Amino acid sequence: MKLIAIDLDGTLLTTESKISAENRAAIKRAVDAGILVTICTGRATFDVKALLEDLDIPIIAANGGTVHDTGYRLISKTLMDQQAGKDIADYLLSQNIYFEVYTDHHLLSPFDGQSKLQAELDILKSANPDEDIHTLWQGAMTQFKQFGIKPVHDIQTVFDGNENVYKLLCFSFDMEKLKKAKEELTHHQKLSQTSSGKHIIEILPASSGKGRALTELADRYGIEKQDIYAIGDSPNDLSMFEVAGHGIAMENAIEDLKEKSTFVTKSNDENGVAYFIDQLLANQY
């Protein structure tokens, strides 16, 4: 059996954050051909489920935080240490950095998150008048359009209860803030970091990650490394490429991912996922 693991943003999803009809049909063709297809994303499980609609395939979400089989059956979860999460949340708040907390049912965000990012963008625009502000703001708005996002007045309280926390996502237009946050994270042994974009830091449990979760799913089905095909575009997809026999980079992928790939497909706005699947099904890959 073959296994295809597909990232969402910048890969399966268009720039409008939608799954094209072509990509959706190609996934169904792969499943009908006996291939196990899974989504492997930084998004939350409930957000992925809403995007997939009638596609019943395994889901690896929150960068490996949860692994669901077909029928939405939970295989495993990897939780963030509550104290480590609270400590880094305190730091992010002290630095006025926007962040989201991924739980079982919501993406919790500070109530003033949107205005905080708008203020950062205004400063960036003043310092760099030639910057494409519209595109940058659209990137930020992708965060606020996710299924299940819930603004709260006191985001730290999530770490005082028994709620499961899978990851934190930071978003900032202030690159100096992000640089300092990355340095701060190196001091937290129970946490790791990755990224799905220039303005994003994703904070995970040290034992989490797309690669670990993909290996777990493959082992469950008895699938060997040489039969795993990982498709992605961003730094958080690197761990998938490390455990897959075949790394498929999108045309719009970062150069580091392309260098580690075995195949470069078309861009996310050109149905690159469907293009690769059809190559594989036709034995032309």
Positions annotated as catalytic residues are 7
> Mind spelling out the 3-state secondary structure of 41-73?
CCCCHHHHHHHHCCCCCCEEEHHHCEEECHHHC
CB 84 within 8 A of CB 191: yes
DSSP string, 6-20: E-IIIIIB-TTS-B-
CB distance 62 to 166 below 8 Å: yes
CA distance 148 to 161: 19
Alpha-carbon distance 217 to 203, whole Å?
A: 22
φ and ψ at residue 77, rounded to 5 degrees? -140, 145
CA distance 222 to 227: 10
Torsion of CA 280, 27, 198, 80, to 10 degrees: -110
